[in-house]
Chain A
Amino acid sequence: MTAAITVDGLEVIFDRFRALKGVSLEVRSGESFGLVGESGSGKSTLLRAIAGLAPVASGSITVNGKTLGARRDKAFYREVQMVFQDPYGSLHPRQTVDRLLQEPLAIHGFADGEKRIERALDEVGLGNGFRFRYAHQLSGGQRQRVAIARALILEPAILLLDEPTSALDASVQAEVLNLLEEVRRRRKLTFLMVSHDLAIITHMCERLMVMQSGEAVENLTAAQLVAHRVTEDYTRNLLRASDGFVRA
């Protein structure tokens, strides 16, 4: 299998703060890869660096064989799209769903906009009734569906997911996770998913990387994690914590 994303020795510095300290990573084409860690581990920064939203100090990022420079071209955004964590912050407050979905089509000059919008809304299970609503007329789960539709409308091969369900209720989370799995199977997408929740990552991903304070702790397969075959203490701590509270 070929590599969809290769990250080598990536370093990201915000105002002298080293958010990523030389992280390397390889995501194979068609697989779902998870990044796990607590706040400040650099997992979201890594995702944003790949998307071109974080200042890269050194190291390289290669997507589908092309090494990326500081500026991304339009072709890159047709390959890679992203779904953000906060469904309340990722939709423009003054635009209808229709307008939100039209924007990427207009930028990339697609002609059959009407059809694509209808198809995209159908695909995320919203239907045409939602097309002319504003973000504030939608629930959190519906907003996240719109965000997924917006990411998919350019037909990318790689989807970056930044804690896509952490702001949602548990029952809505299940629906959104199912939707993501379904679109991945149907479109043969590559996922790179960030979460603080080990259970979600093992559910969604085949392989994962545990991160802590800007560094990689260890690389595991989901099967290894489920069998508790981990080598680092930090990962073990995370695993224990995900079992819930145990009275001493």
Chain B
Amino acid sequence: MSDTLLDVDDLRVDFPTRTGLVRAVRGVSFTLGRERLGIVGESGSGKSQTGRAIMGLTPPQARISAKKLAFDGIDLLGISPRQRRALRGNRIAMILQDPKYSLDPVMSIGRQIVETLRTHEKVSKAEARERALAMLEAVQIRDPKRVFDLHPHEVSGGMGQRAMIAMMLIAGPEMMIADEPTSALDVTVQLDVLGILDKLVSDRGMGLIFISHDLRLVSSFCDRVIVMYAGKVVEQLKASELGQAQHPYTRGLLNCMPRIGFERHPLPVLDRKPEWAA
């Protein structure tokens, strides 16, 4: 097996609208190994659409093209929707920002995890239950037996996101895409959830794409960072070398955030240059 899990070359996502073509992603290329890769950008940068295109969750009216979009050698754009669905959840998983919208509100958390497992693997009910409980424990839910029977609205945001992670990881995916997985959470809970994600990724040797608007958070969590602007990658660099970022956009993004202990009045603002989007 090669080290490259995902190979993206010249990915484009276009939305035809009444007023013309909106080009959300304009030629994005990168590869993912068994590592944590961060994709950072502001709203409208195309970071989420990149993640969705890889997952195959782009709205049907959009047009997707790429020179190459391959997961473990499988051409994702060439296979049938059914094959794609089989991949999704089984070998590729995705976590979204708000667990409230991604969990089924009328089904208990435990049952959702069991159902997910049983659609991908032939296991007995008892075994599925055992594995679901173990998974809930793995995402550091203290009383898994109690949470198993709760419905999504009965748990806090942090707990819901943990349950979501448990559900996504139960089938043992090799690659996970996390789109702003902690943005809806309080800062202290955010770090707990990231800690869990981090441990699971390194224990299982998964590849993780972490999509976020928060450059500082991403750089403290990921191995590599891709910075996107207006549908394009403006810079790719190691997270540890963020301080030596070359592109003025990356540097501006880093500088414009207030930091404790660094008094700057006024804050430096980003002077957007049209050539960045060219």
- A-B complex is real: yes
Contact pattern, A 39-52, Cβ under 8 Å of B = 1, otherwise 0:
10000000000000
**Residue A181 CB within 8 A of the other chain:** yes
Establish whether residues A170 and B213, one from each chain, have CB atoms under 8 Å apart when the complex forms: yes
Which residues of A209-248 are within 8 A (CB) of B?
225-226, 237-239, 241-248
Which residues of B231-278 are within 8 A (CB) of A?
252-253, 256-261, 263, 265-270, 272
Establish whether residues B270 and A246, one from each chain, have CB atoms under 8 Å apart when the complex forms: no
Establish whether residues B215 and A244, one from each chain, have CB atoms under 8 Å apart when the complex forms: no
Establish whether residues A196 and B256, one from each chain, have CB atoms under 8 Å apart when the complex forms: no
Which one of B186, B195, B215, B263 contacts A38 once the chains associate, using CB atoms below 8 Å? B186
| Pair count A-B, CB < 8 A | 89
A245 in contact with B215 given A174-B256, A174-B268 (CB within 8 Å): no
Which candidate, B13-21, B144-152, B172-180, B216-224, is the interface stretch facing chain A? B216-224
Contacts of B215 in A (CB 8 A): 170
Bound together, the chains give a CA A237 to CA B191 distance in angstroms of 11
Establish whether residues B269 and A174, one from each chain, have CB atoms under 8 Å apart when the complex forms: yes
Which one of A174, A202, A238, A248 contacts B267 once the chains associate, using CB atoms below 8 Å? A174
**Residue B80 CB within 8 A of the other chain:** no
Establish whether residues B256 and A170, one from each chain, have CB atoms under 8 Å apart when the complex forms: yes
Establish whether residues B186 and A226, one from each chain, have CB atoms under 8 Å apart when the complex forms: no
Contacts of A175 in B (CB 8 A): 269
State how many angstroms separate the Cβ of B235 from the closest Cβ of chain A.
Answer: 15
State how many angstroms separate the Cβ of B93 from the closest Cβ of chain A.
Answer: 21
**Residue B194 CB within 8 A of the other chain:** yes
Residue from B157, B252, B266, B272 with most neighbouring chain A CB atoms (10 Å): B266
Which residues of A139-192 are within 8 A (CB) of B?
140, 169-175, 177-178, 181-182
A199 in contact with B265 given A171-B253, A241-B190 (CB within 8 Å): no
Contacts of B221 in A (CB 8 A): 244-245
Establish whether residues A182 and B266, one from each chain, have CB atoms under 8 Å apart when the complex forms: yes
Contacts of A197 in B (CB 8 A): 187, 258
Bound together, the chains give a CA A181 to CA B265 distance in angstroms of 8
A38 in contact with B216 given A177-B267, A199-B260, A202-B258 (CB within 8 Å): no
**Residue A108 CB within 8 A of the other chain:** no
Establish whether residues A178 and B269, one from each chain, have CB atoms under 8 Å apart when the complex forms: yes
**Residue A19 CB within 8 A of the other chain:** no
**Residue B102 CB within 8 A of the other chain:** no
Bound together, the chains give a CA A247 to CA B199 distance in angstroms of 9
**Residue A120 CB within 8 A of the other chain:** no
**Residue B42 CB within 8 A of the other chain:** yes
A248 in contact with B195 given A169-B213, A174-B269 (CB within 8 Å): yes
Residue of A at shortest CB range from B189? A38
Bound together, the chains give a CA A248 to CA B203 distance in angstroms of 14
Establish whether residues A245 and B188, one from each chain, have CB atoms under 8 Å apart when the complex forms: no
Establish whether residues B270 and A174, one from each chain, have CB atoms under 8 Å apart when the complex forms: yes
Contacts of A204 in B (CB 8 A): 258
State how many angstroms separate the Cβ of B263 from the closest Cβ of chain A.
Answer: 8
Could you list some 20 contacts between A and B, CB below 8 A? A38-B186, A38-B188, A38-B189, A170-B215, A171-B269, A171-B270, A171-B272, A175-B269, A177-B267, A178-B267, A196-B186, A197-B187, A199-B258, A199-B259, A226-B260, A226-B261, A241-B190, A244-B217, A244-B219, A244-B221
